[in-house]
Homo-oligomer: A and B are copies of this chain.
Amino acid sequence: MPISARNRMAGVVKAIEKGEVASTVKIEINKPSVITAMITKEAVDELGLKEGDKAEAVIKATEVMVSKE
């Protein structure tokens, strides 16, 4: 099912850190570019996410800021 979120970046899970309810997942998109996501631990468990998995970072356009050099 396609989703309205404009941004998807494919990569590989490089690190997962689980807290009691929150977790961070690091996805390496292009060496050495890494995206950090903070999601629920429940989501990590339900997706069965582990290091080495192919995964995508998905981001709604309204959440993206722009910084000018």
Known pairs A27-B66, A65-B59; A36 contacts B47 (CB<8 A): no
* Copies of this protein chain in the complex: 6
**Closest chain B residue to A6 by CB distance?**
B36
Min C-beta distance of A33 to chain B, whole Å? 7
Instruction: Please name all residues of chain B whose beta carbon is closer than 8 Å to the beta carbon of A61 when the two chains form the complex.
Output: 24, 36-40, 43
CA distance A10 to B1 in the complex (A): 12
Instruction: Please name all residues of chain B whose beta carbon is closer than 8 Å to the beta carbon of A54 when the two chains form the complex.
Output: 68-69
Known pairs A1-B69, A3-B58; A64 contacts B37 (CB<8 A): yes
Interface residues of A (CB under 8 A from B): 1-10, 17-25, 27, 30, 33, 35-40, 42-44, 46-49, 53-69
